[in-house]
């Protein structure tokens, strides 16, 4: 009998659920309606029995992987779910479309908030996930949520229009069907890739474009199909194993890239002695560099599930926790640089000095260049995700280029990303 089948286990799960909901409320990630939904909806009902003990941890839980150990589906981190539900701005009676059913837990949270007078439609391309989600939704008392099996890129026109659309998989572009199925005054929240960095953004129509606000850094499993984008995957050593994902820019050759990451690192401090007070400031610097250095290629490491990675893979994975930047110099030497995360950054409770790691023949020079750019970021008031202005225009549009604004073309849209000139 698992933890769900005994009164002691049920009491323990209920107490853990209460602690999670309270922590989301106290942290400010969840307002009253969202925190109450986390308290009311049992996450453990949406997980396989062996994962129930982890149900109320504030972590993402992988529920399905492919033959190479890459995650196909997961129950997202509750804190990130709360943030996106707040971005969505849900109210009782609203009609909501979710792209990416997963376990069905998020659909249940939405159903709890919009109530019996509202409606929830959720779609996923994996038939087994949809079947299990239907069963879990019914078991948790949310059978009224409609789970559909199909390609989420097309939305679910049969139940449109919607007041809100939420995408729970990483996307490279906003599918026009999602926007078309939104009612007047509607809002869509999606984790969109901007130069290889995923940002959960709430978009609303603003004249000739969709204006994004409330951007928050995130990391979701990529959506299958055109909306995921044409990212290049570069294998790192024997496969199945770690790979480098390149979203924009030329992909480095696999051999030199693997050799660089396997070799020693050169530490390059920021000349001004720049200090950061937490991982949030480092991720803001990473985002700023990605958008203001368009000639560099940005890399993210992806790979096998953590428990299956060997020691060498774990060592390489730890070298680019926030992603890295690659560049071939005039001599054709590959350089790779990544922000260093100072040991004990969050635990120390005091600012620590920022630095970059350089890998490969051109790594030290590239790390030095980025260290100089970090001084400019600091001088501009440390712009980051919170102040980022992101607009999505129809394909073929030519948005006005301004200082500090990057224009990125996608098949269905044109993205304009940057900060106010005062930032």
Question: Which residues are catalytic, by number?
Answer: 73
Strand pairing of 119-124 and 146-149?
parallel
Residue 122 to residue 124: CA distance in whole angstroms? 7
- Cα–Cα distance list, 52 to 42, 49, 354 (Å): 10, 5, 39
Q: Which two tokens stand for residue 397?
A: 């549009």
The structure tokens 């949809």 sit at 130
Three-state secondary-structure class, residue 127: helix
Residue 230 to residue 298: CA distance in whole angstroms? 14
**CB within 8 Å of 362: residues ≥ 6 apart:** 327, 328, 329, 331, 333, 334, 335, 336
Three-state secondary-structure class, residue 413: strand
What does the DSSP assignment read for 369-393? HHHHHHHHHHHTT---GGG-EEEEE
Of 4, 28, 27, whose CA–CA distance to 16 is shortest?
4
């Amino acid at each position: 009998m698992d933890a769900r089948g005994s009164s002691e286990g049920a009491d323990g799960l209920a107490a853990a659920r209460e602690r999670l909901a309270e922590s989301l409320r106290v942290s400010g990630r969840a307002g009253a309606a969202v925190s109450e939904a986390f308290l009311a909806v049992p996450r453990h009902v949406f997980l396989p029995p062996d994962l129930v003990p982890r149900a109320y941890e504030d972590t993402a839980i992988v529920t399905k992987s492919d033959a190479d150990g890459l995650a196909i589906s997961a129950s997202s981190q509750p804190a990130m779910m709360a943030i996106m539900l707040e971005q969505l701005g849900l109210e009782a009676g609203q009609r909501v479309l979710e792209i990416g059913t997963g376990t069905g837990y998020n659909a249940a949270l939405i159903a709890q908030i919009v109530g019996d007078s509202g409606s929830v439609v959720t779609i996923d391309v994996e038939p087994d996930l949809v079947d299990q989600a239907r069963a879990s939704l019914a078991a948790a008392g949310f059978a009224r949520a409609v789970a559909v099996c199909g390609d989420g890129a097309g939305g679910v026109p049969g139940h449109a229009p919607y007041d809100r659309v939420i995408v729970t998989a990483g996307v490279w572009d906003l599918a026009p069907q999602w926007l078309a199925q939104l009612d007047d005054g509607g809002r869509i929240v999606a984790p969109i890739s901007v130069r290889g960095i995923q940002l959960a953004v709430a978009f609303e129509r603003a004249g000739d474009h969709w204006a994004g606000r409330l951007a928050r850094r995130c990391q979701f499993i990529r959506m299958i199909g055109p909306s995921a984008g044409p990212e290049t995957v570069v294998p790192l050593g024997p496969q199945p194993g770690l790979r480098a994902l390149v979203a924009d820019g030329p992909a480095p050759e696999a051999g030199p890239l693997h050799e660089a990451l396997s070799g020693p690192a050169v530490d390059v401090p920021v000349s001004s002695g720049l200090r950061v007070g937490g991982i949030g400031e480092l991720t803001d610097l990473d985002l700023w560099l990605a958008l203001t250095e368009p000639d560099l290629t940005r890399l993210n490491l992806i790979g096998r599930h953590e428990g299956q990675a060997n020691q060498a893979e774990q060592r390489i994975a730890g070298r680019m926790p926030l992603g890295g930047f690659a560049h071939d110099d005039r001599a054709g030497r590959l350089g790779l640089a990544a922000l260093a995360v100072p040991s004990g950054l969050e635990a120390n409770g005091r600012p620590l000095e920022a630095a970059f790691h350089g890998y490969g023949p051109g790594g030290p020079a590239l790390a030095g260049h980025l260290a100089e750019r970090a001084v400019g970021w600091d001088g501009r008031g440390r712009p980051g995700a919170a102040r980022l202005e992101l607009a999505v225009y129809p394909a073929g549009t030519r948005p006005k280029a301004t200082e500090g604004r990057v224009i990125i073309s996608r098949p269905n849209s044109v993205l304009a990303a940057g900060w106010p000139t005062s930032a």
